[in-house]
Structure 1
Amino acid sequence: MTTVNYWAVATCTLINIILGGLWYSSLLFAKPWAKLMGLDLNKMKNDPTVQKNAQKGYMISTVCHFIMVIVLAHFIQQILGSSSWLDGMKIGFCCWLGFALTSMLPNHIFSKNDFSWKLAAINIGYPMVGASLAGAILGAWR
């Protein structure tokens, strides 16, 4: 039985944090996300309450990403017989499909009266890319 590569886990955790920052930035989905959420990005930038909540959110997100990557590393370790980034990516994607999509989509449907597939795709697509990318890294870097 092999052990978990904690350097790979730390790297994947950091990559997921960076991916989240990019995903919800003006480079990718900040504007459509804010519009669909009914938020004003300019007001959010200057609101101290939003900034304080964001700090908590980043800390909690970091812990959650770390837990997700550790669990994914254990799944990959138990399932894969050889090192393969593609197999790791498939396992990451399957974990997203079986756990994240199936829990996040119903929450999105019931959370707003005006459900939006576009908002769901933005919010649920981020963990899909993150889990798949983490799986690829963990599969290759064992």
Structure 2
Amino acid sequence: MDFTINFDAINLLVVFAATVVANILGGLWYSPFLFGNIWRKALGKTGQPEPMTNPAGTFIAGFVLQLIAASLLAAMLGPGAGAAEGIQLGTLLAFAFVFTATALNNLFERRTLIIIFVNAGYHVVAMGCMGAIIGTWG
């Protein structure tokens, strides 16, 4: 199998921008405007969300993890891929690896299908968006 990843061809500015967009999407995804209320109800949480103990650390770690995913996606796409190829690869990778792993873990944790689809669905959409951005400008 000949599988080459070219990290030298990564446009870091585009990868950073794609990561920012994915994080903004996450904020919207888990907000009451989209799936936040459904997600919280499925988790059995009522009332106001409890404050995070270390929000800065959590968001920085989340950003770094998303940055790693965007970097690998950019390396796999290579320069000049185009939006369609970026969406396809990002969505395929997220569905094949993130969605299935999230679903597997959530099933053993006895989480509902709602939680699985909200959590894993975010990653599929986010990777597709990052792929579109990286494919277009990367």
TM-score by length of 2: 0.88
Q: CA contact under 8 A between 1:85 and 1:136: conserved in structure 2?
A: yes
The equivalent residue for 1:28 is 34
> Aligned-residue CA RMSD in angstroms?
1.6
Whichever structure has more helix as a proportion of its residues is 1
- Structure 1 spans left out of the alignment, 5+ residues: none
The equivalent residue for 1:111 is 109
What is the aligned-residue identity percentage?
A: 27
Q: CA contact under 8 A between 1:34 and 1:41: conserved in structure 2?
A: no
The equivalent residue for 1:10 is 16
The equivalent residue for 1:56 is 57
Q: CA contact under 8 A between 1:89 and 1:135: conserved in structure 2?
A: yes
Structure 2 distance, partners of 1:20, 1:106, is 21
Cα offset, 1:116, TM superposition: 1.4
Matched, 1:97 2:98: no
The equivalent residue for 1:130 is 126
- Structure 2 spans left out of the alignment, 5+ residues: 1-5
Q: Out of 124, 131, 139, which is 2:135 matched to?
A: 139
Quick one: structure 1 residues 83 and 34, their matched pair in 2 at CA, closer, same or farther if it must change by over 3 Å? same
SS in 1 for 2:115: helix
Structure 1 distance, partners of 2:132, 2:12, is 15
Equivalenced residues, count: 132
SS in 2 for 1:52: coil
Quick one: structure 1 residues 129 and 41, their matched pair in 2 at CA, closer, same or farther if it must change by over 3 Å? farther
SS in 1 for 2:31: coil
TM-score by length of 1: 0.85
Cα offset, 1:83, TM superposition: 3.1
